[in-house]
Structure formats: C-alpha cells, structure tokens
C-alpha cells in the first residue's frame, strides 16, 4: 500500500493513476476527496496534513508515503506514518529549498524532518511546474491574453507528469535496494522557457493567437500577496526575475531516474489545451 497525499493535485492525480496502472494498492489523500475523484479500486480518504492526528486511518497498513509540503507539523506527520508501519517517504519539495533557503524555510523544515525521520527517504526538489500556466486559463478563455512578470526570463519549468513519474519510480523501487535512498533530486524540464514563449506554445496548441501582457514586479507582487506569505512572494519573484545560474540550469535527474528526457512545455500545452479553449 502506498499513500499519496495531495492526490487531487497536478502531480498527485497522475501519480495515483500511474501506481494504479501498475496494480499497486493506493490510498489517495486530500482535504476534499471522494471515490468519484480516483480510479476504481483506489481508497479515497479526506484528511488534512495540517492535522496529523487525523491521518492515522489514512496511513494504516501503508508501506510508503508520498508527502507534500503542507501544514506546519512535519515531524508529527512522520511520527504518525512510522507508527502506522510506513517505511519509505518521498517528499515533494521545491528547488528553492536548495537555492534560496531563507525564502523557502517551510520546505526546508519538511526536508529536515524527512532526513531525521529514520525512514528510507528521497527528496524531489521540483522546479516551476508547467501546470502553473493554468493560472492563465480564465484570461485565455475569455480574452485570449496571458499576463506575467519577467516575460523574457527563461527557466526550465517541468511537466508535473514527469514529477509524478519520478515519484512513482522511486516509490516502486524494491525495498531491499538503496537506489534512491538518501537522494535529493532536482527536477526540471529539458530547456528554459520564458513566460512569453509558454503563452505562445498555448496559442499554437489552440490554433489561435494569445496576447502576452507583461506585468510589472509591483503588479505581480500585489496579486501574489493575496494568496501567498510575503517571504514566499519575495522569494518567488526573485527566482522568476533574477534566477541564479543554478536555477536556470537544466538538471539531468528526470532522465537519470526515468531513462528518458523530460517532456517539453509544448507537449504539456497540447495535452491540456481543453483548459484554455
């Protein structure tokens, strides 16, 4: 049994599907979830990582856990997991935890808890996800426009399906091997892309023009501050606007784990074009 937290998200949903196709028993966990949202045979449990005591039933009988950075009590979450019999944890963290530790203190806390848990662990530090472009869905559908700051700054965003595939590969590794144990992988796409280029790729998938509107830093800050803590807003804007050489660099880790190259943004746009029609 493998427990997948964040099972209705862009990574978790695909991970549940991959594991199910491999005929692995899965418990899908999210704050709001029911059987209609998961493949047949998957156990769906509504639970919140912010309330670790409520996770006991979800973790019961599991051998491995896919864990999101959510809530404020990672040590308690992992204690509950261990008491339920979990032996392996794969944490979905952020690339910023390595490149901007002060701005990304929250994922670093989860990483520390995982390393100190006594479990077999692997950390996946994801770059920006291609699915962040869903933020444009409403404006593209209504006005065929996409707005973002730093329109010509390129970063190697990663397909969430590739993140899910890496997580599945790690989770399904034989428990008697140590191939991924203690590893920290940085997951990126195959090449840097700019916001302007990503909007153009969606336009190509649609077969219609999409106008890119470049926001000022202040405009982006105001919008992001509505749903993100200020330190995270500042760190994110710094990463998007003034990325370090490491943040611009394409990581080999997706190919190292999967034996194939990471997928390009254009492929993600084609698969998800219905969201923008």
pLDDT value, residue 176:
55
- What string of pLDDT tens digits covers the 277 residues of the chain? 999 999 999 999 999 999 999 999 999 999 999 999 999 999 999 999 999 999 999 999 999 999 999 999 999 999 999 999 999 999 999 999 999 998 889 999 999 999 999 999 999 999 999 999 999 999 999 999 999 999 999 999 999 999 999 999 999 987 556 689 999 999 999 999 999 999 999 999 999 999 999 999 999 999 999 988 888 888 889 999 999 999 999 999 999 999 999 999 999 999 999 999 9
The structure tokens 């692995």 sit at 24
Q: What is the dihedral of CA 251, 252, 256, 257, to 10 degrees?
A: 20
Q: CA-to-CA distance for 142 and 173, rounded, in angstroms?
A: 45
CB 55 within 8 A of CB 83: no
Local structure of 101: helix, strand or coil: coil
* Number of Cβ within a 10 Å radius of residue 6: 22
H or E element at residue 20:
helix 12-21
- Please tell me the pTM assigned to this model: 0.95
């Amino acid at each position: 049994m493998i427990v997948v937290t964040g099972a209705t998200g862009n990574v978790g949903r695909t991970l549940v599907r991959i594991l199910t196709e491999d005929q692995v028993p899965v418990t899908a966990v999210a704050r709001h979830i029911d059987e209609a949202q998961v493949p047949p045979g998957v156990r769906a449990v509504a639970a919140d990582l912010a309330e670790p005591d409520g996770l006991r039933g979800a973790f019961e009988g599991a051998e491995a856990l896919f864990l999101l950075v959510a809530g404020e009590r990672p040590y308690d979450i992992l204690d509950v997991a261990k008491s339920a019999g979990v032996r392996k944890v794969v944490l979905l963290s952020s690339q910023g935890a390595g490149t901007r530790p002060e701005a990304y203190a929250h994922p670093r806390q989860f990483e520390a808890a995982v390393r100190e848990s006594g479990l077999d662990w692997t950390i996946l530090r994801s770059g920006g996800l291609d699915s962040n472009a869903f933020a444009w869905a409403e404006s593209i559908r209504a006005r065929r426009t996409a707005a973002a700051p730093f329109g010509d700054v390129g970063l190697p965003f990663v397909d969430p399906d590739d993140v899910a595939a890496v997580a599945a590969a790690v989770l399904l590794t034989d428990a008697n091997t140590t191939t991924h144990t203690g590893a920290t992988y940085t997951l990126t796409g195959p090449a840097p892309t700019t916001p302007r280029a990503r909007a153009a790729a969606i336009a190509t998938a649609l077969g219609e023009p999409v106008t890119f509107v470049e926001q000022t830093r202040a405009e982006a800050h105001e919008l992001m501050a509505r749903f993100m803590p200020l330190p995270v807003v500042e760190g994110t804007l710094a990463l998007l606007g003034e990325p370090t050489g490491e943040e611009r660099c394409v990581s080999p880790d997706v190919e190292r784990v999967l034996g194939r190259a990471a997928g390009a943004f254009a492929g993600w746009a084609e698969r998800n074009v219905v969201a923008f029609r």
